[in-house]
Structures are given as structure tokens and as C-alpha cells.
Amino acid sequence: MTSAICNLKSAILALCLSTCLGAEVVDWPMFGFGPQRQGVSPTRFASATLEHQWSTATPRALYTYVEGTPYWSSPCLATVEGQPRVFLGCYDNTVYAFDGATGEDAWQFITGGAVGATPVYAIIGGHPMLFVASSDRSIYAFDPRSGVPDTKRKLWQVETLAWKGTVNPARMANPLLAEIDGKPVLVCGVWNNNRSGTENVQRGEVLALEPATGKELWRREIGTSAVGTPCLGTVKGEPALFVPYEPGAVFALSVRTGEDLWPKPCSSGDEIHSGISVGVVNGRQLLFLGGRTAWAYGVDAETGQQVWASPINTWVDSTPAFAVIDGRPTVFVGSYNYFVFALDAATGKEVWRYRTRGIVQGSPAVATMGGEPVVCVNSLDDHVYVVAARDGRFLFRYDLGQFSWSHYQKGKTIWASCVVGMLAGKPMLVAPSYSGVVHAFAVGTRDDNAGPPRDSFWDALGEAYTIPVVLLVVAVLVFTLTRLVRARRATGPPDHTIDGPQKSG
Amino acid sequence: MELPFGWEGDRLVIRKVIERALLPLGNTALDLTPFLMMAGLSVVAAFLMRWKFPHRQWARRLVQTISAVALIMGVHPCACMSRDIILGANAMGRDDLGAFKYLIVFATVAAFTMLFGRIFCGWLCPLGFAQELLGKLTSWARGHKEKPAFIYLKYGMGVVFLGVLFYSSYKTKPATFSFIEHAMVFYTIGLSLIALTVLTDHSKDWFFKSRVRYAILISIFAVFIYGVYANGPFCVFFTAYVEWASLISCFGVLLLSIVLMNAWCRYMCPEGAMLGLLANHAAWQINRNDRCQRDGCCEPVCPVDCIVMGIRDRRTCLYCMKCVDACPHGALEIVNELRPGKKQTVPFIPRPTKYF
């Protein structure tokens, strides 16, 4: 093997063996665990009794929410030369590397824009490398080892659009690292836009780069709008990238050349903000994605034809996870109606649903706890949840802290997902929070389970701001009616008749 | 056959009959269904407005029914024009495809409004149709305004309404960190207060229609500019799923239309307020000619009370043509004011509390 991508290879191997959930893999090297984005890690926890291990320091404060600004990217877990590391991008333009054992800062690198895309870790040519897509329109490669001077941290930088005064921050999809014909390929979806009237640019495209040098292999323009997180599969034996396009289409591109593999893109009818995952169901490769048409879809990867559509009844922006649970291929989807759905991957029929108390926008992560497959998910009710993958039974919940901004724009921001992996020799659940810190959990003696959420009447009222509003309304109502009744008593009833004024005149 | 409506689990799901987009554009396909429906139905409505025939109101009902069915079953995106204007304006120059998608519904409706007046409100709007229909079916309630039964109904309804909204705001717990998410519930509470005030003192009708409505429009724009995904009673007709806030708001609006015809259209509807500004200078206007006997026969038939002392409030008029059909002298007619010499120079509506 000329270019050894050891971690990536092990991840792909683990995916192949994901049905048995038996192999031990250390890392969560990219978004969705592997290039198929299935979100399944073979990590085994001894039990679901989780103890809070560490949390990181708060990043630099940003008091203003800007449309679409992410807080954290989803984490990337890796062991770099024996040192456990958690890599994340942040809204403060910084790429963070935290110590996986303690949560302390290992190193930081400031880019020119917010980093919402999950970093990718791999060993290229025997050297560990970290790839990061930043909204400063650039893709970076870093040396992720500790002790490297800041001036030598950056290995290369590829700018996808030159800076102008009218350029907006780019929207970068989570990069993907694949190995094609024995050679690694780094793929990233980019949406650049320059609002200038004379040099207007609106370009959603997919770039393939050589990871070692950053040399561009090919570049394929998809359209004028944003491109989502690509995933890797095959079409007629050809390695294929499945790329969601935000206005409502999925493209199948050759990883080798970037050419279309389907006669025409698959159209969903409405916007797609979710990523895509790939899974094999009954010998047939299916794509799983959600849409803003309130449906989750299963699409035949060979033809681009829809196989099933399952009603979720609201938006689905989270990338579906795919796992085989007790012999049944299952898709796990988070939705805006607070539910995590488990759908039969072959038919789209609902197996179970679990209701959190907030929007589930992050993508589910599947692991094993106490011999039982579980689904871990971040919810916008400030908690991370662990539920049983078989039946949606509640197992664990932890308060990650409240939102540190005053508001956000619904549907404009993709929030970080939680991930599972081995850090410092033990299985860990890592959950970034929009309160400003990243939390890590491992099996311990203390049970930090907050218990299942309860919908007490007063909690709900407090959440809804209902009491002050309704009291105010009742007060205004009483005041208005009292005044009107008094005025009516003083002046008599008003003359509403059409002829009244004419007669009086 | 799969029905367009059905219960899935614990929720009502509205499936759209037309699933595929129509216009290939920018490497994707754009759903032109709303544009084609709005344009086609507006042309039909304009033709029926201009053509004098005895059963025009029945024809209007038919157009409203077709429009409601077509919009509910065929249109995917929400036709929330206020939000779409802001999103579309924000996307211009960055994402023209998105801007086109957001603005196409408003652009179509606005263009037809500038030509034919608030044809959308009077002939096509499903919420207006539902309110009008319910108001018509319950006209007995408003026919006995002086009887104690009506007064009890009025205030009883107010209390029940607040109770329902209280419960609903519990039920619709906000998904974000601000209650504005489901602001429409609170707007509907405001509407109930306005309706009760107007029912108590009808002279306030003008104030709410001419002042508060535009304050509501500004506040809605402020909400959208702030970036909050506020919904409205309208949303329940357009989205592929049912949100509790919009469903409850829709229920509240319909309930209010029993005691006050087209209550939402009069005082709250931000889209209506926006279109009213355009309709003020529309080409087609309903004007009086010299056959007018000043007998006031046009005033009581107006569902939004926009004719006072024989003068029509151009910004509130829904172009339902009820006044034209009700006049036995043929004194009201559609006039194209773009043609020279046809513009009627009448003073704008005086405050109705001051009769002359």
C-alpha cells in the first residue's frame, strides 16, 4: 500500500462490519464516522451508566448571532501519535484541538471565517493530517500533532474564491476523504457567493483535492445555490459521490472525474438541508436523506429513483444514521418536531419514535452500551440523549447548558452532532453544546443521568412565557372593557344605522 | 388511492397531489405551481369581476372553492408573503434562484393587485373564504345584535377563546428560545381584543382598520427581519404538515369570524395590509356613477365594512363585488382608472364617527 490511510481504512472496515458492531475502532475521523456517513461506531460502552468526564473552556465570546452561524462543528475524534484528540471548528473562526483525556486545549488555529464543517483526520503518506473547510472560502490542511510551532501548523491552504470586498462567507459542506484506486481523495462541497453587481458569483460546486498537496484534481459546478454534505457509494461499480443540492436535488458524481453518473439528478420537490447516508438494504444500495417537504426518503443509489418516502411531518435537516439492529436495517432520523424516528430502511415504515423536548437537528450517532445498540443525539432542549436503538427506550440524558445567544434563526443553522469513539483508552461520548463548551462522558461509577424529561404543566408554562403574556392580555381586556362600558353609560349607544346620520343631518 | 389528507401517528398530514416541480432551472427544478395557479385563477376572477351577470356571487364561491382546493392540495411552499419578501430580498445577488422562489408568489399576487385590486383577498384566499363561509353560515348570530343572547355569546366567546389560547400556548411550546416563534397565537389574542372592542363600540372599526393594521404589518416585518420563523393562520393551508400554533390561530380566526365577519382580513392580515397599499392605486376601481341614489344599499352587504357614507375604502376593499351586485340602480361599476378621464377624485374615507 503506497499511501496508507490507516484510520480511514479501519473506519471503512468497521462500516463493513457494522452489522455485528463487534470490531474496535478508535476514531470518529469525519462527519458521519466514515465516508458513507452512516453514523455508526463500533465503540462499546460497558453500560449506559455515564459519568461526566470533562468539559472544555468557553471559546471567545461572540455576542451577536449572524444568520447561519454555527456554534461548534461536529467533532472529529482521533488518536494522534498516541495522544487522544478532539478536533472541532467554532464560530470564532478557530479550529480547536482538545486533549481527549482532560478537555484541555492542545492547540488552536485561527482561520478567516467561522468553521462549521467537521474536520477530517487521516494519515497521509505516514503523516497525520487534519483537513478543515472554513467559511473564509478556504480548505486547510494542518499538522495535528502537538508541539508543532504555529507557523508550521498549516501545511497548505486552497482558496476556492479570491477575496473581494463584496464576497460573503462561503458555506462549506463537511469534507470527505475517500480512497480511490489506492489514492486518497479529499472532496468538499462549497458554496461561494459574491454579491457584487459587476462580478457577481453564485456558485455551488464540488472540489476534489489531493490531500497530500492540496492540488486540485477536479472541480464540478453543481448550480447557483448551496451544496450539502457529500457521501460515498457506488453506481454500477463506479465509486460515486452523492451530493445534496439545497434547492432540492441529489447528484451522483464520479469520484474519479466529477462527471454525472445518473442521467439526471434526483429531484425531491423541495429544499434539502440534510446530508445523505448510504446503506445496503437487501443487497441494494440505498441513499437516506431528509427534506423540507416533511418527508424522509430512501433513494436507489443506482438509478436515483425514490424507493420509499416516510412522513416525518416536519423538516428533517439531520443526516440519517443507518445501522442494522437485530437483523433489521434501520434508519435513525432527527426532526424539527422534537422526535427521533427509527424507520425501517427497506420500506420507510416507522419502527419507533422518541420525543425529546427540542428540535433534533444534529445527526444521530449509533454505538453499543451494555451490549445493547443505542442512539445518541443532541437536542435543542439543551440535552444530549441516549435511547435504545431497538425500541426507543430512554437510557440517558444530560444537561449540556443553555444557549449562549439570545436567539437563532430557525432552519438557518446546522447545530453540532454528538459522536462516540475511543479516547484515552475508554469509550467516550463527546457532545458539543451551544452553551460554549464541549462535554465528554464515559462509563463511570457515578451516574450523571438527569432522568427522562418530564412535561410538567408549570415547566411548560414557564417555557412558553404564557403566564405573563396571558395575565397582560387579561389585564388589557378588563381595562378596555371597563373603559368602554363606562363610556357607553356616559354617552349612550352609538348610532350604527345607515340612515341615522342622514336623519340627524 | 391515497387521500391527500390522513392521520399519520398522532398528526394530520396533508399530502400534495402535485408532487413534481415544473420548471427546470439552475440544475434543479423550481416549483411553478403557485405562480401558475395564482395567475390562472386571477385571470378568471378578473374576467368574472368585469362581466355583469346575475349569479356572480355564486361564481365567486366556485372560484374560491377551486382556489382553496388547488392551493391546499397543489402548492408546496407556504405563501407567507411577508416572510418571503424578506427572505427573497436577502437572497438577491447571493442566491438568485432562492430569491426567485421566495418572491414569485408575492410578485404574482402584487402584479394582479396593481391591475385588478385585492383580487387575491376577495376571490382566492382560502382563509378569507373560510371566514366568509363561516360568517355567512352563522349570520343568525350577528342578526340580533341588540338581544342579550348575542351579548352573552360575544363575551362568552371571548372568555372561551382566551381559555383556548391559554391552553394552546401551553400546547405549542416554543421550539426556539423566544415565544415569538409561535407569535401568531398572540396576534390572534390581540385580534380577539380588537374584535371585542369593535363589537362594543363600532366606531373603533375605522381606527383599527386604518391604523392598527399597518402597525401589525410593521411588527410582522420586524419579527421576520429579526429572523424568527413566525407562522400564521394562513400556514395551515399551505404547509405539508400542521403546526399547532397556526392551527390554533386558524381556529381562533374562524371563531371570531362568527361574531365579526372577516375579522382577520379587517384588522390583522399583514398580507392584506400590504396588498391594500397597492390596491389603493390599482387600475381597476369600483366607483360610483351618477345613478347613485345615496340610499346606502351598498353599505350593509360589505363583509369588511369598508363602505361608509357611500365612500369605499380602497385599501380595505376585498373586491368581492357584493356592493356592485347589491345596488339596484347599477350605480357601482368597475372603472379602469388608467384610461384618461376615468379617475374618480373623491376624498379619502372620512372618520366614520363624525357623520354629516
Q: What is the DSSP string of A22-61?
A: -S----B-STTSSTT---EEEEEES-S-EEEEEEPPP---
Is B169's CB within 8 Å of A407's CB?
no
Burial class (CB in 10 A: 0-12, 13-18, 19+), B39: middle
Is B176's CB within 8 Å of A477's CB?
no
The alpha carbon of residue A100 is apart from the nearest alpha carbon of chain B, in Å, by 31
C-alpha cell at A327: 437483523
Dihedral sign, CA of A441, A445, A451, A452?
Answer: positive
Is A457's CB within 8 Å of B229's CB?
no
At B256, is the pLDDT very low, low, confident or very high (cuts 50, 70, 90)?
confident
CA angle B154, B159, B165 (to 5 degrees): 120
- Interface ipTM above 0.85: no
Phi and psi at B186, nearest 5°, equal: -75, -30
Per-residue model confidence (pLDDT) at position B308: 80
CA–CA separation, B29 vs B119, rounded Å?
29
CA–CA separation, A133 vs A230, rounded Å?
14
The alpha carbon of residue B341 is apart from the nearest alpha carbon of chain A, in Å, by 31
CA–CA separation, B32 vs B335, rounded Å?
32
A380 contacts in chain B (CB < 8 Å):
175
Q: Which of A115-124, A434-443, B325-334 has the lowest mean pLDDT?
A: B325-334
Per-residue model confidence (pLDDT) at position B7: 39
Report the pLDDT averaged over residues A396-403.
91
Which of A190, A121, A173, A130 is CA-nearest to residue A154? A130
Kindly tell me if the per-residue pLDDT of A142 is higher than 60: yes
Query: How would you classify residue A157: left for phi > 0, otherwise alpha for psi between -120 and 50, otherwise beta?
Result: beta
At A324, is the pLDDT very low, low, confident or very high (cuts 50, 70, 90)?
very high
Per-residue model confidence (pLDDT) at position A26: 64
Instruction: Find the distance separating the first CA and the last CA of chain A, reported in whole Å.
Output: 103
Q: Which of A267-271, A367-371, B253-257 has the lowest mean pLDDT?
A: A267-271
Phi and psi at A362, nearest 5°, equal: -70, 160
| Chain A, nearest residue to B18 by Cα | A269
C-alpha cell at B320: 368581492
Kindly tell me if the per-residue pLDDT of A495 is higher than 60: no
Is A269's CB within 8 Å of B26's CB?
no
Kindly tell me if the per-residue pLDDT of A249 is higher than 90: no
A337 contacts in chain B (CB < 8 Å):
11, 241
The alpha carbon of residue B106 is apart from the nearest alpha carbon of chain A, in Å, by 19
Is A463's CB within 8 Å of B173's CB?
yes
Per-residue model confidence (pLDDT) at position A475: 64
At B238, is the pLDDT very low, low, confident or very high (cuts 50, 70, 90)?
low
Quick one: which H or E segment has residue A132? strand A127-134
- Could you say which DSSP state residue B241 is in? B
Which of A267, A127, A225, A242 is CA-nearest to residue A178? A242
Q: Which of A406-410, B5-9, B30-34, B179-183 has the lowest mean pLDDT?
A: B5-9
Nearest to A465 among B9, B179, B299 (CB): B179
Phi and psi at A432, nearest 5°, equal: -75, 145
B169 contacts in chain A (CB < 8 Å):
464, 466, 469-470
Nearest to A249 among B28, B76, B172 (CB): B28
Which of A337, A357, A353 is CA-nearest to residue A453? A357
Given a contact cutoff of 8 angstroms between Cβ atoms, the answer to whether A336 and A317 are in contact is yes
Nearest to B96 among A224, A350, A501 (CB): A224
Sole residue written with cell 374615507: B349
Nearest to A269 among B19, B201, B309 (CB): B19
Report the pLDDT averaged over residues A477-495.
63
Sole residue written with cell 371566514: B131
The pLDDT tens digits of the residues spanning A205-220 come to: 999 999 999 999 999 9
The pLDDT tens digits of the residues spanning B142-169 come to: 665 556 666 666 667 666 666 666 665 5
Is B242's CB within 8 Å of A484's CB?
no
* Contacting A residues, span 482-501, partner chain B, CB-CB under 8 Å: 484-485, 487-488, 494-496, 498-501
Is B94's CB within 8 Å of A195's CB?
yes
| Highest mean pLDDT of the ranges A223-237, B205-219, B253-267 | A223-237
Nearest to B175 among A293, A359, A504 (CB): A359
C-alpha cell at B113: 393587485
CA–CA separation, B6 vs B24, rounded Å?
31
C-alpha cell at B350: 372620512
Report the pLDDT averaged over residues A460-478.
57
Q: Which of A9-13, B76-80, B299-303 has the lowest mean pLDDT?
A: A9-13
| Chain B, nearest residue to A458 by Cα | B170
B226 contacts in chain A (CB < 8 Å):
407
Per-residue model confidence (pLDDT) at position A11: 45
Q: In what order do the strands lie in the sheet with A50-55?
A: A50-55, A438-443, A426-432, A419-423
Report the pLDDT averaged over residues A395-407.
87
CA–CA separation, A387 vs A32, rounded Å?
18
Per-residue model confidence (pLDDT) at position B206: 79
Sole residue written with cell 395590509: B273
Which of A56, A31, A30 is CA-nearest to residue A130? A30
| Chain B, nearest residue to A192 by Cα | B94
A350 contacts in chain B (CB < 8 Å):
9
CA–CA separation, A245 vs A257, rounded Å?
19
| Chain B, nearest residue to A503 by Cα | B356
Nearest to A245 among B27, B200, B227 (CB): B27
Per-residue model confidence (pLDDT) at position A60: 73
Sequential DSSP letters for A224-278: SS-B---EEEEETTEEEEEEEETTTEEEEEETTT--BSSSS-EE-SS---S--EE
Per-residue model confidence (pLDDT) at position A4: 43
CA–CA separation, A246 vs A272, rounded Å?
5
Give which of A135, A305, A498, A504 to mutate to test B binding, by max B Cβ within 10 Å: A498
Nearest to B356 among A359, A406, A501 (CB): A501
Is B175's CB within 8 Å of A498's CB?
no
With pLDDT > 90 as the criterion, what percentage of chain A qualifies? 63
| Chain B, nearest residue to A351 by Cα | B9
The pLDDT tens digits of the residues spanning B73-90 come to: 666 556 678 888 888 888
At B35, is the pLDDT very low, low, confident or very high (cuts 50, 70, 90)?
confident
Report the pLDDT averaged over residues A468-493.
63
Q: What is the dihedral of CA B347, B350, B355, B356, to 10 degrees?
A: -20
Which of A156, A55, A150 is CA-nearest to residue A110? A150
Is B170's CB within 8 Å of A193's CB?
no
Given a contact cutoff of 8 angstroms between Cβ atoms, the answer to whether B132 and B256 are in contact is no
Q: Compute the count of residue pairs across chains A and B with CB atoms less than 8 Å apart.
A: 170
Kindly tell me if the per-residue pLDDT of B110 is higher than 70: yes
At A427, is the pLDDT very low, low, confident or very high (cuts 50, 70, 90)?
very high
The pLDDT tens digits of the residues spanning A272-323 come to: 899 999 999 999 999 999 988 778 999 999 999 889 988 887 789 999 999 9
Q: What is the dihedral of CA B127, B131, B133, B135, to 10 degrees?
A: 180
Q: What is the dihedral of CA A148, A149, A155, A157, to 10 degrees?
A: 140
Q: Chain-wide mean pLDDT for chain A?
A: 86
Give which of B229, B241, B243 to mutate to test A binding, by max A Cβ within 10 Å: B241
Dihedral sign, CA of B89, B90, B96, B99?
Answer: negative
The alpha carbon of residue B167 is apart from the nearest alpha carbon of chain A, in Å, by 9
* Contacting A residues, span 268-297, partner chain B, CB-CB under 8 Å: 269-270, 293-295
3-class secondary structure, A329: strand
The alpha carbon of residue A304 is apart from the nearest alpha carbon of chain B, in Å, by 14
Question: CA dist A401 to A44, A63, A385, B4, B238, Å?
Answer: 26, 17, 14, 42, 36
Sequential DSSP letters for A338-383: SEEEEEETTT--EEEEEE-SS---SPPEEEEETTEEEEEEE-TTSE
Give which of A250, A337, A473, A497 to mutate to test B binding, by max B Cβ within 10 Å: A473
C-alpha cell at B339: 384610461
Is B95's CB within 8 Å of A202's CB?
yes
Measured between CB atoms, does A336 come within 8 Å of chain B? yes
- Residue B152: Cβ within 10 Å count: 10
Q: How many CA atoms lie within 13 A of A158 on its CB side?
A: 23
Nearest to B174 among A408, A464, A480 (CB): A464
CA–CA separation, A236 vs A321, rounded Å?
24
CA–CA separation, B23 vs A361, rounded Å?
30
C-alpha cell at A467: 403566564
Distance, C-alpha A451 to centroid of its chain? 25
| Chain B, nearest residue to A169 by Cα | B94
Nearest to A466 among B158, B166, B177 (CB): B166
3-class secondary structure, B19: coil
Is B179's CB within 8 Å of A464's CB?
yes
Give which of A190, A225, A489 to mutate to test B binding, by max B Cβ within 10 Å: A225
The alpha carbon of residue A367 is apart from the nearest alpha carbon of chain B, in Å, by 28
| Chain B, nearest residue to A352 by Cα | B9
C-alpha cell at A270: 423541495
Per-residue model confidence (pLDDT) at position B137: 81
Is B94's CB within 8 Å of A168's CB?
yes
Given a contact cutoff of 8 angstroms between Cβ atoms, the answer to whether B288 and B332 are in contact is yes
Instruction: Find the distance separating the first CA and the last CA of chain B, reported in whole Å.
Output: 62
Is B197's CB within 8 Å of A480's CB?
yes
Kindly tell me if the per-residue pLDDT of A331 is higher than 80: yes
Q: Which of A73-77, A289-293, A474-478, B317-321 has the lowest mean pLDDT?
A: A474-478
User: Does A239 or B74 have the greater pLDDT score?
Assistant: A239
C-alpha cell at A14: 468497521
Per-residue model confidence (pLDDT) at position A396: 95
Burial class (CB in 10 A: 0-12, 13-18, 19+), A480: middle
Per-residue model confidence (pLDDT) at position A504: 37
Report the pLDDT averaged over residues A433-438.
91
The alpha carbon of residue B216 is apart from the nearest alpha carbon of chain A, in Å, by 17
List the beta bridge partners of residue B287.
B333
Helix axes B148-171, B244-259, angle to 10 degrees: 170
User: Does A60 or A3 have the greater pLDDT score?
Assistant: A60
Q: Which of A14-23, A392-401, A465-474, B60-69 has the lowest mean pLDDT?
A: A14-23
The alpha carbon of residue A1 is apart from the nearest alpha carbon of chain B, in Å, by 39
User: Does B185 or B96 have the greater pLDDT score?
Assistant: B96
Per-residue model confidence (pLDDT) at position A51: 95
Sequential DSSP letters for B30-61: E--HHHHHHHHHHHHHHHHHHS--TTHHHHHH
- Residue A363: Cβ within 10 Å count: 32
Per-residue model confidence (pLDDT) at position B353: 39
Kindly tell me if the per-residue pLDDT of B14 is higher than 50: no
Kindly tell me if the per-residue pLDDT of A13 is higher than 60: no
Which of B121, B169, B59, B115 is CA-nearest to residue B304? B121
C-alpha cell at B241: 404538515
The alpha carbon of residue A45 is apart from the nearest alpha carbon of chain B, in Å, by 32
Sole residue written with cell 480548505: A139
A435 contacts in chain B (CB < 8 Å):
none
Per-residue model confidence (pLDDT) at position A403: 82
CA–CA separation, B201 vs A491, rounded Å?
11
B300 contacts in chain A (CB < 8 Å):
498
Measured between CB atoms, does A208 come within 8 Å of chain B? no
Which of A235, A242, A187, A180 is CA-nearest to residue A209? A187
